Structure 1
Amino acid sequence: MNVHFIAIGGSAMHNLAIALKRKGYNVSGSDDEIFEPSRSRLEREGILPAKIGWDENNIHSQLDAVILGMHARADNPELLKAKELGLKLFSYPEYLYEQSKHKKRIVVGGSHGKTTITSMILHVTNQLGINIDYMVGAQLEGYDCMVKLSDNAPMMLLEGDEYLSSPIDRRPKFHLYHPDVAILSGIAWDHINVFPTFENYVEQFDVFCSLVNDCLVYNQEDEEVKKLGEKYASRITTIPYPTPVYKVNQKGTLLSFEGKEYQLQIFGQHNMQNLMGAMYVGIQMGIAAHDFLTAIESFTGAGKRLQKIRETDSFVMFKDFAHSPSKLKATTKAVKDQYPDRTVVACMELHTFSSLKKEFLPHYKDAMKAADEAVVYFNHEVVQHKKLEPITEQQVFEGFNGGVKVMTKTEDVLQFIRGKDWNNKVLLLMSSGNFDGIDYDLLAEEITKS
């Protein structure tokens, strides 16, 4: 099979390209910019483009498929050539479906918790020696590629993103997977540049549920998710899940389920919910609940999801991907519940399109209320780069309902952190970026040495 990637350098695209190369396909690709770590990974596999830029000569009649990434534009010369030749064009999710259409597909959907739930299921299948294909939306520790494709795995686990599929396919990615088993963890308005109203956003999850073939596992404690679960109960098997009974302890969490206790290394109410959802999905995959929970005892968390950077006797530092209001609330509360006798200092970065939009800021009301001290950082240049209406420090302060320090320079955030006595404290850094240049590991080393 000869497959060409237009925009091969994307975080998702390069993983798929590597997976296909390892499957024995002839893979080529192009892009107008390729950053690390994509660049090094593609180079190691021998599929890094020889030159940067688009070239219609890359497209020829011997190609069996052309996969189009979100980074490419609709007028891309390679795309136009592929159309002219009548080649088979796929978006990233379309090609994943093509590779898994004869397998049992398990799709993880929701505004939050997707990567964690997917990681939990993947951890358990690894522990139990169950052969599955997969696609995870984030880089996980211990993996050099987040897509696995094979001819012999009977199931494929897919993280189901609700964002658009490609420049010429405006459908959400998770509409294209047609799951046999699906899970819906929660719905909280996001991607407002694509889904301008909350109702429009919820509709995408409604469509997703309508495409499930056999079973929908859903979080019964999320109001919008519960409505959808009940709506589809007459058509498919639906399995609601609640937060389980658990206790916080020094090691993490002691979970009680069906008369047995399990010592977990993860913590937080949202993670306990995620675990229950993952477990019920596991049951649909043929994994007994006890076996699932026993295997998950060694799970330390998904990458950048409450990831512990440094710990001493009197100090802990975490980084987390949280950036939306619901994620901030859940993550900040989880840390405070785990360390009730310590001062929790939470710093977050407004980085995404939605978070930097003036109209969206009121959704952050009290999102970091659980923290003892809170800092919100944003960069005026990023707002300008995203071609958004300027926002002020006061607007951000009011959006969070006060109680936060608003900063617009990385150095101010660093100065704030460096100026504190970190004895008996927890530092939580939350962002889908890195505060425009903070090296978390170096910062942790600096704090613990001082």
Structure 2
Amino acid sequence: MKVHFIAIGGSAMHNLAIALSRKGFEVTGSDDEIFEPSKGRLKKEGILPENIGWNVSNITSDLDAVILGMHARPDNPELAKAKELGLEIFSYPEYIYEQSKNKKRVVIGGSHGKTTTTSMILHALQILDFPVDYMVGAQLEGYDCMVKLTEENDVIILEGDEYLSSPIDRRPKFHLYKPHIAMITGIAWDHINVFPTYDNYVGQFDQFCNIIEENGVLVYNEEDEDVQKVALKQSKRLQLKSYNTPKYEVQENGTLFHYDGQEFHLKIFGAHNLQNLHGALKVVEALGITPTDFLNAMKDFTGAGKRLEKVSETPERVLYKDFAHSPSKLKATTAAVKEQYPDRKLVACMELHTFSSLKKEFLPHYLNAMETADKALVYFSPKVVAHKKLDPITKKDVFEAFGENVQVETETQNVLDFIEQESTDNMVLLMMSSGNFDGIDYNEL
């Protein structure tokens, strides 16, 4: 098979390109910018484009498929040439489906917890020697590629992102996978640039459930009212398996988890992580794995990369970084760290970085999201707001939205000064962002 990637440098795109190259496909690609780690990883595999930029000579009639990334524009010249030649054009989720049509597809969906839950499932399956293909949207420790596609594996685990598939395909990615086993972790309004109302956003999960294969399994979070409503509509068509936040005890180095009369010592902590674990348990149970085997396999799991990831620890101080950026993630993560370290001063810093979080109308959703922190700071860059072509927001807007319990800063150095000012012995520092506060190196910090 001969496949060309338009916008090969994207985080998902370059992983799929590597996976197909390893499968024996002839892979080419192009992009107008490729950053690390994509650049180095593509080079290592021998599929880094020789030149940066678009070139219509890349598009030839002998291509079996053209895969179009979100980074490309609808008027991309290579895309126009592919259309002109009548070539098959796929978004990457479409092509993932093409490669897994004959497999049992397991899709993990939801507004939060997708990556963590997917990584939990993959960790357990690896320990238990259960062979699977997979696609995960974030880089996980121990994996050199986050897409695996083989001929021999019968099951594929897919992280089901609800964002758009490509510049010319406005369907959410998770609408394309047609799962046999699906999970919804929670519904909390996100991607408001695409889904302008909450009802419109919830509707995407209704549609997701409608494309689950007949008599398939839907695992759902019964503690989320909207998830439960969506799931119960499918009661006559699907097998429903609910889960919740299970009983657990906080321990110094993790959690003691009680299940079915047994105790399991785990390295993860936080109610939201135990909830994700319970959901993952229900998913692997649908694959024929017993809860006991799953929980024993999870004893050494420390978490997904950038999801409550411990960066550094001394007897006096601990530093965690987390991808949290939406109100629900922010609240759950901050509360989890305070619960785990009740006797330490919790200093929490959060960066407003995504389109939704920087939109003035969305800010009120952050009310009291960091109330469990002893000291809290919110950072945003006016330059990023302008770059995203959003209406300006002020420090006062952010301060009032969060409930007047935070310090708001717009300069990276002021964030560092705040951390230094609040630093004491017996503290835990929590840095939450999908960015890096415009230049903070967490390892140096």
Task: Tell me the TM-score range normalised by the shorter chain.
Answer: over 0.9
Structure 2 residue 330 is matched with structure 1 residue 328: yes
2:432 alignment counterpart: 430
Q: Match of 2:436, as an amino acid?
A: N
2:299 alignment counterpart: 297
Residue 351 of structure 1: which of 337, 353, 361 is its match?
Answer: 353
- Deviation for aligned residue 1:417: 1.2
- Deviation for aligned residue 1:419: 2.6
1:88 alignment counterpart: 88
Q: Match of 1:294, as an amino acid?
A: N
CA distance in 1, matches of 2:69, 2:143: 22
1:447 alignment counterpart: none
1:314 alignment counterpart: 316
1:415 alignment counterpart: 417
Q: Deviations over 1:316-341 (max 9, x none)?
A: 11000000000000000000000111
Mind listing any 5+ residue stretches in structure 2 that lack a counterpart?
none
CA distance in 2, matches of 1:229, 1:51: 48
Q: Match of 2:181, as an amino acid?
A: V
Q: Secondary structure at the match of 2:157?
A: strand
Residue 255 of structure 2: which of 240, 253, 256 is its match?
Answer: 253
- Deviation for aligned residue 1:418: 2.1
1:448 alignment counterpart: none
Q: Match of 2:326, as an amino acid?
A: S
Is the 8 Å Cα contact of residues 182 and 216 (structure 1) preserved in structure 2? yes
CA distance in 1, matches of 2:48, 2:421: 44
2:270 alignment counterpart: 268
Q: Secondary structure at the match of 2:362?
A: helix
Q: Deviations over 1:135-171 (max 9, x none)?
A: 0110011111100010000000000000000000000
Q: Which runs of 4+ in 1 moved over 3 A?
A: none
- Deviation for aligned residue 1:112: 0.0
CA distance in 1, matches of 2:299, 2:353: 33
Q: Secondary structure at the match of 1:334?
A: helix
Is the 8 Å Cα contact of residues 118 and 136 (structure 1) preserved in structure 2? yes
Q: Deviations over 1:217-261 (max 9, x none)?
A: 000000100111111111110001111110001120000000000
Q: Secondary structure at the match of 2:34?
A: coil
Q: Match of 2:183, as an amino acid?
A: I
Q: Secondary structure at the match of 1:359?
A: coil
CA distance in 2, matches of 1:43, 1:134: 22
Report matched runs for 1:361-440 at 5 Å: 361-440=363-442
- Deviation for aligned residue 1:420: 3.1
Q: Secondary structure at the match of 2:235?
A: coil
Q: Deviations over 1:296-316 (max 9, x none)?
A: 111000000000001111211
Is the 8 Å Cα contact of residues 393 and 406 (structure 1) preserved in structure 2? yes
- Deviation for aligned residue 1:439: 0.3
- Deviation for aligned residue 1:19: 0.4
CA distance in 2, matches of 1:102, 1:275: 28
Is the 8 Å Cα contact of residues 347 and 422 (structure 2) preserved in structure 1? no
Report matched runs for 1:24-103 at 5 Å: 24-103=24-103
Q: Match of 2:72, as an amino acid?
A: A
CA distance in 1, matches of 2:427, 2:249: 21
Q: Secondary structure at the match of 1:4?
A: strand
Q: Percent of pairs identical after alignment?
A: 67
1:23 alignment counterpart: 23
CA distance in 2, matches of 1:223, 1:308: 32
1:446 alignment counterpart: none
Q: Match of 2:374, as an amino acid?
A: D
- Deviation for aligned residue 1:59: 0.2
Q: Match of 1:339, as an amino acid?
A: Y
CA distance in 1, matches of 2:421, 2:344: 18
CA distance in 1, matches of 2:212, 2:293: 26
Q: Match of 2:353, as an amino acid?
A: H
1:212 alignment counterpart: 212
2:6 alignment counterpart: 6
Q: Secondary structure at the match of 1:442?
A: coil
CA distance in 1, matches of 2:235, 2:269: 31
CA distance in 2, matches of 1:234, 1:313: 55
Q: Match of 2:91, as an amino acid?
A: S
CA distance in 2, matches of 1:20, 1:286: 29
Q: Match of 1:131, as an amino acid?
A: P
- Deviation for aligned residue 1:422: 2.8
CA distance in 1, matches of 2:244, 2:369: 22
- Deviation for aligned residue 1:421: 3.2
Is the 8 Å Cα contact of residues 68 and 92 (structure 2) preserved in structure 1? yes
Q: Deviations over 1:22-47 (max 9, x none)?
A: 00100000000000100000000000
Is the 8 Å Cα contact of residues 229 and 240 (structure 1) preserved in structure 2? no
CA distance in 1, matches of 2:313, 2:293: 30
Higher mean displacement: 414-423 or 325-334: 414-423
Q: Secondary structure at the match of 2:107?
A: strand
Is the 8 Å Cα contact of residues 351 and 433 (structure 1) preserved in structure 2? yes
- Deviation for aligned residue 1:179: 0.3
Q: Secondary structure at the match of 1:12?
A: helix
Is the 8 Å Cα contact of residues 218 and 238 (structure 2) preserved in structure 1? yes
CA distance in 2, matches of 1:74, 1:404: 41
CA distance in 2, matches of 1:410, 1:12: 29
Q: Match of 1:257, as an amino acid?
A: Y
2:163 alignment counterpart: 163
Q: Match of 1:35, as an amino acid?
A: F
Is the 8 Å Cα contact of residues 393 and 407 (structure 1) preserved in structure 2? yes
Is the 8 Å Cα contact of residues 3 and 66 (structure 1) preserved in structure 2? yes
Q: Secondary structure at the match of 1:15?
A: helix
Q: Secondary structure at the match of 2:153?
A: coil
